[in-house]
Structure 1
Amino acid sequence: MELILEIIMIPAVLATIKILVIILMFAMPLGTVLTLMERKWSAMIQDRVGPNRANIGKFTGHGALHLAADGLKSIFKEDTMPKGADGFLYFIAPFFGLIAGVATFAIIPLAGPIGDFTFQVTDIEPGLLFIFAITSLSVYGAVLAGTSSNSKFALLGGTRASAQMISYEVFMGLALMGIFMVYGTTRVSGIVDGQNEYWFGSLIPMWGVFTQPLGFVLFFTALVAETKRAPFDA
């Protein structure tokens, strides 16, 4: 048992365990839950029922079973490739989007430490700069997907998507400059710790949304545009 603990505490092994825990137990479940929430909320806004067809007998789980149904559907879908496409680039293009979405969780403290174990893969000083660098990889995914498919329409779509993503990345970075000045650091853990303080005694927490309300609106707008959600999906 002591040998196992010693092996686990090796930095490389511990970092690998943290990555697996964060990806399998937080990042991926969070994506599926947010997808269901978006579908249900958009249905409520549009006066629709929303996802409710997947069921086990009479149990529908208010649409929760659609998460499993959609997962099984994706697993058993046929993997096709357009004629004349560059096979290698065509298949690696989606991984740039996956890496950009998952790698950012490596520097986000998901919870407080339990003993010597921290729910953060690494705590680096240029934390937010690392996030900008990693998320910029998703641009390559859009470009490669468009250029490798041997289709002029896909090329135009990929070019437009990459141009939109690059444009709003600059916008997003400028919106966060106020956060750097308020908390005095780009380390994510330092920014999180800075939000534990309060204004006016314990009345208003010093969250980023309160210290930089205009920056929050600008950042949220850029975030919606980056992910190509409505009204930026046209």
Structure 2
Amino acid sequence: MIRSFSLAAASAALILATGQPAGAVDDELIKAQAGTWLLAPESGAKGCHLTFETSPAAGGYAINGADACAAALPAFVKAAAWNFGEDGSLALTDATQKVVARFQQEEEGSPWEIEEGDPMWLLPALGDVDHVPTIASVAGTWQIQQPDGKAICSVTLSSDTDPDGTPKMSPGSDCPADIGNLKLSLWVMEGFGLVMMGTDGSSLSFDMRPDGTFQKSEEEEGQPMVLVRKQGG
């Protein structure tokens, strides 16, 4: 659903156990993590952007843009470097190599989650978006459309949950068979990803776009689709 990089399948030789930049053998690993990231509370509160560089810094690789965290997340202003740990975690450290925060990733494609403190995510930046969507902010009536804007059908994403705490949803009566047959009844948010789930194990995944709409994930088969909030929904 979202671009990310998992260390679960990486060999021990590729993990930067010493806390210092390694040689060319690690280039792909480092390049995969480099780029601009959004650091934001899971609550949907405002976060800030950090840029992971591939240039060496004390304790790992340089971080740029931490000054932008002063208002929203002041504890991260001192973040000066990033690096991987032996256990597959991702650490942000200050200029003295003291750990500012450490993150773990449950599985490939999922956001990095902070190990301690208030729940927080680290995920690839999506344009200028400075917060992660929440169940409350996404709940409502949406329209599934073709890329050209032609309506396919409507779906209602509810903030009410089942006994396990998963939000409920219901497809509209106008949904075609290929969507109706999925028996969609629940939905979840994971970072910038939205997954609709059926009672028989089927699912339909969408990725958020900078304008707040969603597009069907590239991993999904079939025709491309977008998800647009209905007026008043």
TM-score range, shorter chain: under 0.3
Which of the two has greater helix per residue? 1
TM-score, with normalisation over the residues of structure 1?
0.21
Which of the two has greater strand per residue? 2
Larger Rg: 1
TM-score, with normalisation over the residues of structure 2?
0.21
